Amino acid sequence: MEVEVGSFSDPEGLEGLAHLLEHMLFYASEKYPEEDEYRKYITEHGGYWNAYTRRETTIFFFDVNVDNFEEALDRFAQFFIKPLMSQDAVLRETKAVDSEYKNNLLSDGSRIYQLHKHLSSKDHPYHKFSTGSLETLETKPKAKGLDIRLELLKFYENYSANLMHLVVYGKESLDCIQGLVERMFSDIKNTDQRSFKFPSHPFSEEHLQILVKTVPIEEGDHLRISWPITPSIQFYKEGPCHYLSHLIEHEGEGSIFHIIKELGWAMYLEAGETTDSDSNEYSFFSIGIGLTDAGHEHMEDIVGLIFNYLHLLKEDGVHEWIFNELVTIKEMEFHYQDKVDPISYVINTVSTMRLFPPEEWLVGAALPSKYAPQRINMILDQLSPETVRIFWRSKKFEGSMSSAEPWYNTPYSVENVTPAVIQQWIKKAPTGKLHLPKPNIFIPKDLSLKEVHEKVTFPTVLRKSPLSQLWYKPDMLFSTPKVHIIIDFHCPLSSHSPEAVIATELFVDLLVDYLNAYAYDAQIAGLFYEIYVTSAGFQISLGGYNDKMRVLLNAILVQIVNFEVKPNRFSALTEASVKDYQNFNFRQPYSQASYYVSLILKDKNWPAAEKLEALSLLESDFFAKFVPHLLSKTFLECYVQGNIEPSEAKSVVQEIENIIFNAPNSLFKSMSPSEYLTKRVIMLENELKCYYQTEGLNQKNENSSVIQYIQVHQDDAILNIKLQLFALIASQPAFNQLRTVEQLGYMTSLYVRNDYGVLALQVVIQSTVKDPSYLDVRVDEFFKMFESKIYELSDKDFKRNVKSLIDSKLEKCNNLWDQSYFYWGEIMAGTLKFDRATSEVAALRELKKEEFIEFFDQYIKVGAPQRRTLSVQVFGGNHSAEFKKAINEADPPKTYRITDDISGFKRSRPLYSSLKGGPGRITMD
């Protein structure tokens, strides 16, 4: 449901009221008065719910198992008919909104977005602070004698049926769904409200021709150049912004990015119409650039180069062949689009209903078809020095800023940048190599489907050699001309030291960097590729139309074989990597806690501080010698699924072997089975609770966090379903008790965690109000309180929850990628349970309530004989005194304090066995 009421509608002095109302509608309704009834019902029946407040609209959504759809939809409808907003619930959710605001105080994204809004006309609603806080929703309203609950009820009157759009997606017939909607939603009042319109741009003259310097929280310089433009939604068939963004953000030779990258000035460039606008009254076109340190020194040259390119586009004129090429690509994307999950589909669709005529609701702006050079030139003319806004953020500006944005306290300064100044920058900018892209060779010509001669239910090993192993699965479900290829390079020399890990990471970063100019066209034409580091080497994943897939694959393999160190790119990417590691300090405390959990649990896992130290000492000479060393021992595990015949899949892997191993002077050599690496997890001790307590790495962050990890078992069908069933039953009550009732923190969750096949229950809380030791105690108290709920679980409720979990497991994959990643996950884990859903559903059908309760008593409840617990506690800036107290307290019985010597603790613990076989070894159940 999209309601045409958003933060722009907030009454003056009640910033965040629309956001608070969004939160409140989840609570209870006259028909379903039990607090949290809706969220509980959705979660217990395999679903997901959420909502978000935009500037002009608010969107609510959910999905749920099909058999429970009607009841869930009725609960959802009551949001818009008769919600209950108790005084107590309003107070608690006001605190939740404040917690959400405080979570974002040190988020550069939130800070810069609010600064953009701050530097706009005060009489335009774009200027508003939209999240809300205790100050705007409690303190200030109280001082004015306002009752926030009464204000909410008054504001809710804006929720009129004539301002709503609804999308309902189900397995029933359209007539049946229409009947459901008419029956459930007909009581929504139509008070004939007017939708909020503010027909002007949010910037007056003083907010244009400006250079804004600002200081970020994280390391890394960034430049954003933006202009107010006419929203292209008004000309969606003509796609002017799509044409311009295609050229401006192109990464091939002759592009802005290719030139500034070769000069060592930039790490990435993105361009286009800003997507966070839901208005057809105003819009922005932006170019964002990640700068290197050298790029920081050449900011003026980069801006000058951009305006030079815009001038080139005007001089060269609009090209019909480029527009037609984009139309061809867009038509392929639309007609061969992958099925997405229902929740994404309804959100995407409802967002088009307000902006497009009904016949275009399922298409939106996806199919530009009208060549209109005058419209493209109109938008191009709007990207002028007269209307530019330049935002430049860098820690180098620290201490020199003259102002601070009031809500996030972001330091900034503003300078005027006149067209005359821009002209000076244009004159001294490098210009010689700018040109338009060439025709795209990767646009597929053959989109035919291969004939499947033999029914193959699960992946099979099609080919084995001392160098590689090929798993193959033809597409028998999705009927799409696409293929997915994954190549795992198992390199045992990639992770034996921090130096090896960071050198492997840098090797992969440089590979991607070198391929960028050539492979960019492939990505535009519907192919994707990723190269990423794994725990034992690196992987290549390619997907998309099969017609030109081998051309791209060949280019990647040749780049690996002919790898060389380019000094300028080595320096730029090393610098970027150092900043990434330094930015670990600024991650949210819950993210830092998750890192410590992994560091403690996983064997051969190097600390970030050691990797950063190794990176800062890395020199190009050592790196150049390391790469041949890395590649000198390799085994390839390959997976091919999709629109490809077995013989072709074999020839793909044969070609990979030929390029990698059989090329003249190849660095790659085969690997003996004894060199195969396996990653393993430490086994915690029964009835022992291990603690790791540490201060957050950024004490300016007020948030603290706890993760309580309860290790249960290694992959086993019976224990899997018992653990999953408990998480299904407990997740919403945990959220309700710890977040909603006790108000411990905005971020609260309970879920199943899986590390290399070792499964656990994990509870995460992030909080500004309470320290981690207290949070940990409250988690234990929740489990104690929940004991009675488990013991009193009725047969009816038990069967209902079992059925819900079965329904979730029987859901089919939406597309080729979902299916192939599931199968590949089984291969990489070594479990090879390709029929996992079927076997676990069979086990669920046989599961008795007594067996489930026995599992809870054995593994989960506080004091259980096989409960193995790790509590990682990160103390934020609000709780430094509590940290000092905690580390000096005596350890309670049956607890163990992990000191800073995490490696020593790991060496003292036994390891779970690895489920993964070595090269060429297949272990199927």
Find, among 5, 7, 16, 36, the residue nearest to 148 by Cα. Answer: 16
Partners of 708 in the β-ladder: 763, 871
Instruction: List, in order, residues 6 or more apart from 297 with CB less than 8 Å away.
Output: none
User: Using H for helix, E for strand and C for coil, what is the string for 461-502?
Assistant: EEEECCCEEEEEEECCCCCCCEEEEEEEEECHHHCCCHHHHH
Which bin fits 46, alpha (ψ -120 to 50), beta or left (φ > 0)? Answer: left
Instruction: List, in order, residues 6 or more apart from 820 with CB less than 8 Å away.
Output: 473, 484, 486, 639, 641, 642
User: Using H for helix, E for strand and C for coil, what is the string for 685-751?
Assistant: CCCEEEEEEEECCCCCCCCEEEEEEEEEEECCHHHHHHHHHHHHHHHHHHHHHHHHHCCCCCEEEEE
- For residues 638 and 619, what is the distance between their CA atoms, to the nearest angstrom? 33
What interhelical angle do 549-561 and 646-660 show, nearest 10?
20
End-to-end CA, the chain: 46
Instruction: For residue 451, indicate whether it is catalytic.
Output: no
Contact 474, 649 (CB under 8 A): no
| Number of helical H runs and strand E runs in the chain | 32, 25
The DSSP symbol for 215 reads -
One of 2, 15, 22, 249 is an active-site residue; which one? 22
Instruction: List, in order, residues 6 or more apart from 735 with CB less than 8 Å away.
Output: 39, 748, 749, 750
Contact 627, 563 (CB under 8 A): yes
One of 4, 93, 151, 882 is an active-site residue; which one? 93
Instruction: For residue 93, indicate whether it is catalytic.
Output: yes
Distances (CA, A) of 738 to 96, 111, 113, 757, 767: 12, 28, 31, 29, 11
What interhelical angle do 174-185 and 69-77 show, nearest 10?
30
- For residues 445 and 451, what is the distance between their CA atoms, to the nearest angstrom? 18
Mapping DSSP to helix (H, G, I), strand (E, B) and coil, where does residue 110 land?
helix
Contact 914, 755 (CB under 8 A): no
Q: Which residues are part of the catalytic machinery? A: 22, 93
